[in-house]
């Protein structure tokens, strides 16, 4: 493969990380918490779509829509039952431990329902591949759809946050939750909406990820979830453009590391680059320094 082909593959993988990272960055930016169960919501979305396709013969795009609705409801439920009671906890460690507990809970529920066997995911993207440079570069349908979906989602989400009333409420809660509540913003509804959007995007990411790498287990979302969190921190957690740029850069670094160094140490390279970036710029590429008055 040529360098350009590896670059395209990296952008495609990075686009999936970026979509997942948007869920992390929105929840942290608004609720100031890390939802480590987000990767497992991806897995639930993928299993939902696969079950509808193989068990019920549902139209692929309808299956994706139902998967999004399922993950949206799951995200709202997790926030309401597991995270909301701990929102004013004296220690943020309680929320972090709860998030890890929810992650393991979802994995074990998937094990009970779907079993531990690896299942082959059905690629619902039927767009034909495009050959460039006399066949030296190939854009598969999955790659094209993934990159376009990432751009559309990022653009739409940015417009939603900046131009709509619920979006402005999100920004207000992110800046100062107490002041936003005094101004009439429904904080609970705003945070629930954030979880709903992030979880709905997780379903899309799950379908795109499993279409590119067609295997599905109860642990499928674990490593992509961690890498997407790394991408969010890389770009500047709390920043929507940062999540996109961080995800794409992470995907490119991973693919180039596998191609030119070693597939066995590609993940180590990704985390090493993160450490270097944070040493130089602790808030990430798009993060802002916040000065606290004492």
Rg (alpha carbons) of the chain, rounded to whole number: 19
Q: Which of 133, 141, 123 is nearest to 1 (CA)?
A: 133
User: What is the pLDDT, as a whole number, of residue 110?
Assistant: 95
For residue 135, what is the DSSP state? T
Q: pLDDT by residue (tens digit) across 53-86? A: 998 888 988 999 999 999 999 999 999 999 888 8
Q: How far apart are CA 191 and CA 196, in angstroms?
A: 9
DSSP codes joined into one string, 262-285: -TTSHHHHHHHHHHHHHHH-TT-S
Q: Please give the average per-residue pLDDT across 244-252, as a whole number.
A: 91
Start-to-end CA span in the chain (Å): 56
Q: Does domain 3-280 have CATH number 1.10.10?
A: no
Percentage of residues of the chain with pLDDT beyond 70: 96
Q: Which of 273, 257, 229 is nearest to 103 (CA)?
A: 229
Distances from the Cα of 85 to the Cαs of 80, 98, 188, in angstroms? 8, 11, 11
For residue 264, the number of C-alpha atoms closer than 13 Å in the C-beta half-sphere is 0
36 vs 88: which has the higher pLDDT: 36
If residue 88 lies in a helix (H) or strand (E), which one and from where to where?
Answer: none
Range with lowest mean pLDDT among 14-18, 189-193, 269-273: 269-273
Band (pLDDT 50/70/90 cuts) for residue 288 is: low
- Per-domain residue ranges of the chain: 3-280
């Amino acid at each position: 493969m040529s360098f350009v082909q590896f670059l395209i593959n990296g952008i495609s993988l990075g686009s999936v990380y970026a979509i997942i990272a948007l869920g992390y960055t929105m929840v942290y930016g608004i609720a100031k918490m890390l939802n480590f169960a987000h990767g497992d919501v991806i897995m639930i979305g993928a299993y939902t779509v696969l079950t509808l396709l193989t068990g019920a013969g549902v139209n692929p795009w309808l299956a994706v829509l139902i998967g999004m609705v399922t993950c949206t409801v799951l995200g709202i439920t997790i926030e309401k039952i597991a995270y909301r009671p701990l929102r004013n906890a004296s220690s943020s460690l309680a929320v972090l431990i709860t998030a890890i507990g929810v992650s393991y809970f979802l994995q074990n529920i998937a094990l009970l329902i779907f079993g531990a066997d690896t299942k082959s995911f059905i690629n619902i993207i039927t767009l034909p591949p495009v050959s460039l440079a006399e066949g030296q570069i190939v854009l598969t349908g999955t790659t094209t759809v993934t990159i376009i979906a990432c751009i559309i989602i990022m653009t739409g989400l940015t417009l939603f946050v900046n131009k709509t009333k619920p979006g402005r409420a999100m920004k207000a809660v992110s800046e100062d939750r107490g002041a936003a509540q005094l101004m009439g913003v429904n904080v609970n509804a705003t945070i629930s909406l954030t979880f709903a959007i992030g979880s709905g995007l997780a379903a899309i990411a799950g379908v795109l990820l499993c279409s590119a790498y067609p295997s599905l287990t109860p642990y499928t979302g674990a490593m992509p979830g961690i890498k997407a969190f790394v991408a969010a921190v890389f770009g500047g957690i709390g920043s929507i453009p940062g999540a996109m740029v961080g995800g794409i850069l992470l995907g490119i670094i991973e693919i180039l590391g596998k191609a030119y160094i070693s597939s066995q140490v590609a993940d180590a390279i990704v985390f090493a680059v993160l450490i270097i970036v944070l040493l130089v710029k602790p808030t990430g590429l798009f993060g802002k320094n916040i000065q606290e008055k004492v």
